[in-house]
């Protein structure tokens, strides 16, 4: 359902893999009966026009149904736990010029990537 990597791509303003995330949230928040019906129909035949036009922007994420919000919130927490350090530790390292300059160029780039990923995930926590 989410592709080979099993990951969703989040940007600063919206979900970049919105169709995958939308379908995944719908399926995971279904009752057993709803899921059976979904499987029998090979998915949804006619989604409402509103759902088809829904872009998973930050604003739309904050309006998700409570079960979907909780699922997303818990998923983000699990993702953040997979990192060895937290957002504050990354920020402290970025702000410590002496420690930052001791890092190799590759380590500096990795630090920037991790910091950006964590900021996006924290933003998502706030939205849901």
Residue 28 included in any domain:
yes
Q: Quick check: helix, strand or coil at residue 57?
A: strand
Residue 12 included in any domain:
no
Residue 45 included in any domain:
yes
Backbone phi, then psi, for 94, in 5-degree steps?
-65, -35
- 30 contacts: CB under 8 Å, gap ≥ 6: 38
Residue 8 included in any domain:
no
Residue 3 included in any domain:
no
pLDDT grade, residue 121 (50/70/90)?
A: very high
Least confident among 1-5, 28-32, 75-79: 1-5
Structural domain count, the chain? 1
Whether the full predicted model's pTM is greater than 0.85, yes or no, is: no
- Spatial distance between the Cα atoms of 16 and 20, rounded to a whole number of angstroms: 9
As a whole number, the mean pLDDT across the chain is: 85
Residue 89 included in any domain:
yes
Residue 52: what pLDDT? 46
pLDDT grade, residue 1 (50/70/90)?
A: very low
Residue 6 included in any domain:
no
Residue 78: what pLDDT? 92
> Domain of 65?
18-127
CATH number of the domain that residue 73 is part of:
3.90.1420.10
């Amino acid at each position: 359902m989410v592709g080979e990597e099993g990951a969703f791509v989040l940007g600063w303003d919206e979900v970049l893999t919105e169709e995958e995330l939308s379908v995944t949230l719908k399926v995971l928040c279904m009752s057993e009966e709803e899921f059976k019906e979904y499987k029998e129909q090979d998915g949804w035949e006619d989604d409402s026009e509103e759902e088809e036009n829904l872009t998973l922007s930050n604003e739309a994420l904050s309006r998700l149904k409570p079960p979907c919000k909780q699922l997303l919130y818990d998923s983000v927490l699990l993702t953040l736990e997979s990192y060895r350090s937290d957002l504050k530790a990354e920020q402290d390292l970025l702000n410590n010029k002496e420690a930052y300059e001791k890092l190799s160029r590759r380590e500096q780039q990795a630090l920037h990537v991790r910091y950006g990923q964590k900021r996006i995930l924290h933003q998502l926590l706030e939205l849901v």
